[in-house]
Structures are given as structure tokens and as C-alpha cells.
Structure 1
Amino acid sequence: MGDKLRAEGIKPRLLGYTWIDATEREYTYMSLSGNYKPFSVVFQAMFFRMLWQAGISEPRQFATDEDVQFLIDAHDKEPMRPGAAECISKLRDAGFTVWAFTAGDLKRVGGYFKSAGVDLPSENLLSCDTRGVGKPSPEAYRPLLEQLQKHGQPWFAAAHMWDVSAARRTGFKGAYCTVFEKEPLLELFGDMEVVADTLPEMADKIISMS
């Protein structure tokens, strides 16, 4: 759809970002209001609304359900962020047990690790879908925190500042990587134990501070 979007003055990258960003907002609002829906369900439903907000007067004539499914399938096959596999390897070599806690579904997120050649045991991959409570609610993080606190104060690392800052307020140590958002915005979200520009550097700082 790239050429069609550009012909309308819509940058595909910006549309992709706003689609995910708006989905995160609606997903969170629904969870807070007691109407939890899996992220993937909200994501698919939001696409035509985003075309409307981008200036397409007849979104369902501009794109089809098949187009949306193509984009979702591509999203499901995205590679992990640069340096993610090395980051995990560094932490494991230093004696850490690595968990993943996602608002996405287990199959999709588990596929990211598998495609990157990272072995992540199924019991160490958790989704908000299991309890029906979305991040950044403290109740989403608290069960994992209570489980891991038995072994000391755990770290929470993310490339979304809203995510890691919420986990930190719940009781985790916080590590943030700017690989996705570029700007930490500490004046909004507060201090972090670790801020790094790459995921391997973030791992090194966590290890150093531990």
C-alpha cells in the first residue's frame, strides 16, 4: 500500500506508528474500564479508523480487509530490535534468568524470539491476556514482581518508557533503551537505574550495577 499512501501525502512509517500507538491507547482504556480485549483484536479493528484520521474520506474503499490482514501478518513476522539477542545472551551469561512480559499474544511474541534464534522457555513468556489486565496498570506487573522478589529485587527492561517506568513504580529496578523512542523524557517519566542507547549496552549496565 506504500505508493497509494504516499500519493495521498501519508508517510507509511508514520501511519504504522500511529496505528500501533492508537491501538495501545484504546487497549489500555478498555482494560482500565473493565472491558479487556486482546491487543491483536484491538489492533485489527483500528486500521480503518486510522486511515480516516490520516485524511482518507472513504477508508473501506481505499483498503480492504485483505490489505489489513496482509499488514498484520507482516507485523507478526517482524524481527526483534537490533541487539536483542546479544542483550539476552549477555544477561544469561552473567547469571540472570530472562523473562518476557508482553501485552501481545504469546504465539506472536514467542515467534519473535524463535525467529531470532533465542530459546525462551514457555514458562518465562507471559502475556497480559492471561489475567485480562493490561499494562501499565500496577496490577499487571505485581504478580510477576511478587514471584521474582523471592530471589531479590528484579529488573524490568523495555524500549517503551511508559512500560518500564510503570514497572519501576510497582517495585522493579528500571532499565530503558532508547532504540525505539530515541528521547527518554525523564522529565515526564522519572529517573531510571539504567538508560542506554543500545540493548547490549543496557545489558552491560544492568550487569555492572548488579
Structure 2
Amino acid sequence: MASSKNVVFDIVGTLVGYEKLFEAIEERLGERLKEHGVGPASLFGYTWIEVAEREYTYLSMSGLYRPYATVFEAIFWRMLYKAGVPEPRNFANEEDLAAIMAGYKAMELRPGAKECVQKLRDAGFTVYGFTMGDISRVGGYFKAGGLDWPAENLLSCDTRGVGKPDPEAYRPLLNQLSVAGKPWFAAAHMWDVSAARRTGFRGAYCSVWESEPLTDLFGGMDVLSDGLPEMADKIIAASQ
């Protein structure tokens, strides 16, 4: 039986930040990228993430689902080419890519993430995670950050082979949790939380990753916040 109060979090980008990935790109390729007029590493990394999300989503929509990390790694050479590197496989090698992917696996919880989750748990919420990432990698972020997360409360799009933001990705969890009241979906990606909200969740958005909510584009939210602990406070207040 579901709890009467439930919050589902996006994980990567919301509770987990990308800084370690950007640091790995800078350490491994930063100076070489600058020689081609490409920088900073965080901009290259952001573009890589965003394009990978698009390709992941398009593959899922077209019936050829692939895990997100597989897509992210596969398009590395294309991203270098589109960034202005004319011969990407002469510019970087497999060892460079492996080092960057190690940084990807070493990403850390955002400041305030543990406090946010604890506030909700202390207020009687059951907290779930729903990620495009694979369970073992995402679970590793929690373990490394000292955040206890029950295995049964961590779910991945990989299980059903349907990627966010397809409404069918959110619907099974929505149906499971709605038996005890309308659940929340919380994210720092407006495309994610807005899709979940249109599917039937209450929506909570934190601007820690994107800065601009763009509600005129994505629609209104039940909760808007600048920080993760603040988001938890507002979810709790709105649920009373």
C-alpha cells in the first residue's frame, strides 16, 4: 500500500550535480579544446548532455530504446565534431573517453540534497527516485553521498524501455501512488516535471540547474523554488 504522501524525484541534474563530469572534461581535454576555440568545458558538457537527452528520447519514441549512458557515451565523437573539431578520433582517444565517463560515474549529490530528502521524510513523505539512468550507477551516487535510499524506491526508465518525457514513462508510477492521494514529482528539469504534471502528478520545480523556469513555455507549477531544501519546505506546506 502506498503512503498517503509521496514525492518522486528526478535524480541526475536534480539531486545529483554535473560538476565532476565537467571537471573530468576540463582535466582531460580542456587545453586541447581551447586550441579549437571550444570552451568552457561546462558548455561543451552541457551541450553533450542535452543532445544525448534528445537522441535518447527520439530512440525511445521510435521504438528503439537504448539506456541513456549508452547514448551519452556513443555520441562523444559526434559532439566533438559539431563543436568544431574536424578529426575527433585523432583529437581524442578511448582513454580520454574512459576518463570522462569515470567522472560521469563519480558525480556527487548537490548541496542541500540530503537536507531536502530528510525534510520530506521527517514530514511523513515516502520519497522515490525515477531516473533515465541505470539503477546501479544512480544508486552509487546515493551510496557515495551517504544518502540512504531503499532499493524498492529507486526506479529507472530502463525497466520498461520507455523514456521520459513520454507520458507512458510516468503513468505506471502515478497509478501506483495515486491510490492514496495525488503524488508529487520534483525535478530541476522543467521539461521533466512539466511532463509529469500534465500526466497527473503535482509538480515541484527547483531552478538549481536551469536558472530560468520558463513557465510561459512549459506551464505553471504547484511549487517553484531556487534551492532544494526550500523546495521540500514548499511541498510540505502545499500538502497541509
Structure 1 length as normaliser, TM-score? 0.99
Q: Distance in 2 between matches of 1:195 and 1:58?
A: 44
Q: For residue 183 of structure 1, what is the aligned residue in structure 2?
A: 212
Match among 61, 69, 82 for residue 32 of structure 1? 61
SS at match of 2:179: coil
Structure 1 residue 102 corresponds to structure 2 residue 131:
yes
RMSD between aligned residues: 0.7
Structure 1 residue 174 corresponds to structure 2 residue 193:
no
Structure 1 residue 195 corresponds to structure 2 residue 219:
no
Deviations 1:24-68 (A, max 9, x none): 000000000000000011011010000000000000000011111
Task: State the Cα distance separating 1:93 from its structure 2 match.
Answer: 0.4
- The higher-RCO structure (CA 8 Å, 6+ apart) is 2
Q: For residue 147 of structure 1, what is the aligned residue in structure 2?
A: 176
Deviations 1:133-156 (A, max 9, x none): 000000000000000011210000
Q: For residue 85 of structure 1, what is the aligned residue in structure 2?
A: 114
Structure 1 residue 114 corresponds to structure 2 residue 143:
yes
Task: State the Cα distance separating 1:69 from its structure 2 match.
Answer: 1.2
Task: State the Cα distance separating 1:200 from its structure 2 match.
Answer: 0.3
Task: State the Cα distance separating 1:132 from its structure 2 match.
Answer: 0.2
Amino acid at match of 2:32: K
Q: Percent of aligned pairs with the same residue?
A: 64
Q: Distance in 2 between matches of 1:61 and 1:162?
A: 36
Q: For residue 17 of structure 1, what is the aligned residue in structure 2?
A: 46
Structure 1 residue 8 corresponds to structure 2 residue 29:
no
Structure 2 length as normaliser, TM-score? 0.86
Q: Distance in 1 between matches of 2:180 and 2:139?
A: 25
SS at match of 1:98: strand
Q: For residue 133 of structure 1, what is the aligned residue in structure 2?
A: 162
Amino acid at match of 1:115: A
Task: State the Cα distance separating 1:73 from its structure 2 match.
Answer: 1.0
Q: Distance in 1 between matches of 2:113 and 2:36?
A: 35
Q: Distance in 2 between matches of 1:72 and 1:85?
A: 25
Q: Distance in 2 between matches of 1:21 and 1:42?
A: 11
Q: For residue 73 of structure 1, what is the aligned residue in structure 2?
A: 102
Q: For residue 16 of structure 2, what is the aligned residue in structure 1?
A: none
Q: Distance in 2 between matches of 1:75 and 1:162?
A: 22
